[in-house]
Amino acid sequence: MMTSLDGQQQHQLAEYLNALRLTSIREQFTEVAQQAARESLSYEQYLLELVRHEWEMRQNRRIARLLRESNLPYEKTLDTFDLSRLPTQAQHAVTLMQQGFFLDNAENVLAFGNPGTGKTHLLCAVAQHLVRQGHRLWFTTCSLLVQQLLRAKRDLTLGTSLKKLHTFEAIVIDDIGYVQHNREEMEVLFTLLADRYERRSVMITSNLPFSKWETIFKDPMTTAAAIDRVVHHSVIVELNLPSYRMEEAQKGKHTGQQGEKSFSETGNH
Ligand code: ADP
Ligand code: MG
């Protein structure tokens, strides 16, 4: 026969659970005890139920926090991405990336292709998938990143900034080479790439093939060194496709509707 707690004991238990920060258990122990009585659960099964609730709540909160922190556009997911458009080799790369081993090995991901081929959507989708598995990733555009690092350098806090970025297993750097940067700006980007080399991943999208990266890094030596560092351990995804937007617009013409409307624009490239 179950004996329930008297008022003072109830209060005491709630206080203990508060002190131990076991919020979900505090909120649910009475209800779960009633359920245990109804279903004749053993003491251990009751404990399992309670702890499961606590764990699930914490896990959900953690993922929600990681998603907020990640700065990723929520609507760019694998569910809304048509993988069948990709070349077979790229499809294989996506399957591999979803497992997240590249993060453990500090490998990089590079997505190349013309504008509109889905580079940003794809890498954001893979990144979001990994965040939902509990990984810490952060999305930024190359321009914003460069500005942030430059500010840090001028404030003499570049080291601290890089250290902070180290807490992210991968940084998605969107659109390297899209905006022309001056030498000082490129230097801080190079510093970041060198800093992460073999320690943390970067996931880069670019419209420019390596052969044009000298326009990004200005001199041949820095360019070679940058390419060397990002390529050394990397997965390269080549999206040599027609632009998705163009193709959808074409389809829209034939069917009388605008294909692009189903995808909300986020302001990210
Ligand atoms: P890129 O970064 O290569 O310029 P985006 O990732 O921004 O291209 O894609 C352009 C638009 O087309 C976005 O709205 C994106 O969601 C959509 N898109 C691109 N490829 C696909 C795809 N394979 N499936 C679904 N939507 C796609
Ligand atoms: Mg893009």
Give me the percent of the chain exceeding a pLDDT of 90: 81
Substitution candidate for ligand 1 out of 75, 112, 121 with most atoms within 8 A of CB: 121
Q: Kindly state the tokens that stand for 81.
A: 């991405």
The answer, yes or no, to whether any atom of ligand 1 lies below 6 A from the CB of 241, is no
Ligand 1 centroid–CA 188 distance in Å is 29
pLDDT in tens, 226-238: 999 999 899 999 9
At residue 110, φ and ψ (nearest 5 deg) are -125, 120
Question: In the prediction, which pLDDT does 1 show?
Answer: 43
Question: In the prediction, which pLDDT does 147 show?
Answer: 95
Yes or no: say if 192 and 145 are a contact pair by the CB < 8 Å rule: yes
Residue 47: pLDDT band by 50, 70, 90 thresholds?
very high
pLDDT in tens, 255-265: 544 433 322 33
The answer, yes or no, to whether any atom of ligand 1 lies below 6 A from the CB of 119, is yes
Question: In the prediction, which pLDDT does 145 show?
Answer: 96
Substitution candidate for ligand 1 out of 244, 260, 264, 269 with most atoms within 8 A of CB: 244
Other beta carbons within 10 angstroms of residue 181's beta carbon come to: 22
Q: Report the chain's mean pLDDT, rounded to a whole number.
A: 90
pLDDT in tens, 180-239: 888 888 999 999 999 999 999 999 999 999 999 999 988 899 999 999 999 989 999 999
Query: Which alpha helices (DSSP H) does 133-255 contain, by range?
Result: 142-154, 158-166, 183-196, 214-217, 220-231, 244-255
Ligand 2 centroid–CA 196 distance in Å is 22
Question: In the prediction, which pLDDT does 254 show?
Answer: 60
C-alpha distances in Å from residue 137, one per residue of 99, 103, 189, 201 = 14, 10, 18, 9
Ligand 1 centroid–CA 228 distance in Å is 28
Residue 171's beta-bridge partner residues? 138, 202
Q: Which atom of ligand 1 is nearest to the CA of 114?
A: 3
Looking at residues 4-31, what average pLDDT do you find? Answer: 94
Q: Which atom of ligand 1 is nearest to the CA of 124?
A: 6
